[in-house]
Amino acid sequence: MNNTIQNLKTFYRTPVTPESFFISLEGIEGSGKTTQIKHLEEILKKKGYRVMTLREPGGTEFGEKLREAILKSSMPLHPMAECHLFLASRAQLLKEKILPFLLVPKSVVILDRYIDSTLAYQGKARKLGIQTVLELHRHDPLNLLPHRTYFLDISLETSHERQLKRGQEKDYFESEKTEFYSNLIDGYREMANLFPERILKIDASVSPEAVAKIIDEDLEKVLL
Ligand code: Z5A
């Protein structure tokens, strides 16, 4: 990883509110984010936390409109246009939901996809460059990093198998070619190496219960 990217890491901040916690989940389609989020919500509520679960793109009225515009787009967008749509959704979500909720004592925000999705999808798979995407996140409010990110790592084969089982219609990204997906997986793995103090890479090819156990054990260590 070059020095410029390492230097860019200094522009980021994590929330400093006592007792509040910000978690994101990352991974390719079918990696089990939604499945683990349900588990996380349950255990955090049992521990007495107020929990707000959100997804990206989306989570606000404006963000949901952008989600529809991107994922239902019938024409290929320029990667920079695509990237800015995700950032617009994110900035609004931070302003309307994430930042106010993190001020509530003993609160946890759980976010289904965040900055690492943009780094992996637009930075790596769409080839905008990791450095370019990091630079776009230098400014407030986009420079807020989660306390913890669970990266659910699966192979492309496992992702395909799980999608076949679900039998859903393909959306904007799901029609992409194998090269896009192998770059995407590389991008996520690169992010886990770039931010080892924040991102926990988990082998998510195992059962949902086994993945949940790893997350539970980690939470015991990282929660205040
Ligand atoms: N995107 C982007 O390009 N840039 C950005 O900055 C952002 C997003 C923020 C949003 O998709 C798209 O936007 C996404 C990236 C892009 N690209 N795509 N496609 P989305 O929100 O609609 O979809 P998703 O995030 O990919 O969700 P998903 O496909 O539903 O995946 P998931 O939530 O990780 O998986 P799941 O629903 O929990 O599980 C999938 C299936 O596998 C389900 O049947 C489960 O029962 C099963 N499952 C889950 N875990 C396991 C285990 N451990 N073993 C066996 N089976 C399992």
Identify the residue whose C-alpha is closest to ligand 1 atom 49: 32
Interval between CA 15 and ligand 1 midpoint (Å): 26
59 lines ligand 1 (CB under 6 A): no
Please report the pLDDT score of residue 27 as a whole number. 98
User: Per-residue pLDDT tens for 144-154?
Assistant: 999 999 999 99
Question: Token pair of 171, please?
Answer: 């959306």
Alpha carbon distances (Å) from 98 to 21, 64, 195: 11, 15, 21
Instruction: Give yes or no for residue 86 CB within 6 A of ligand 1.
Output: yes
The residue written with tokens 């920079």 in the block is: 80
* C-alpha 52 – ligand 1 centre gap (Å): 19
Q: What pLDDT, on a 0 to 100 scale, did the predictor assign at position 72?
A: 92
CB 112 within 8 A of CB 53: yes
Provide CB contacts within 8 A for 40, sequence distance 6+: 23, 51, 110, 215, 219
Count of residues in the chain? 224
pLDDT (tens digit per residue) in 165-218: 887 777 788 778 889 999 999 999 999 999 999 999 999 999 999 999 999 999
Enumerate domains of the chain plus CATH numbers. Answer: 3-8+20-222 (3.40.50.300)
Q: Does the pLDDT at position 133 exceed 90? A: yes
Q: Quote the pLDDT of residue 43.
A: 96
The proportion of the chain whose per-residue pLDDT surpasses 70, expressed as a percent, equals: 96
pTM above the 0.85 mark?
yes
In this model, does residue 54 exceed pLDDT 60?
yes
5-22: pLDDT as tens digits = 877 777 778 776 778 999
Strand order in the sheet with 21-26: 50-55, 107-112, 21-26, 148-153, 199-203
Q: Is 171 in the pocket of ligand 1 (CB under 6 A)?
A: yes
**With the CA atoms of 125, 126, 128 and 130 taken in that order, what torsion angle do they form, in degrees rounded to the nearest 10?**
-20
Residue that the structure tokens 């400093």 belong to: 16
Q: Is the pLDDT of residue 119 over 80?
A: yes
Residue 2 has pLDDT above 70, yes or no: no
Residues 6 or more apart whose Cβ sits within 8 Å of residue 30: 154, 158, 159, 160, 161, 162, 163, 166
Ligand 1 lined by 118 (C-beta under 6 Å): yes
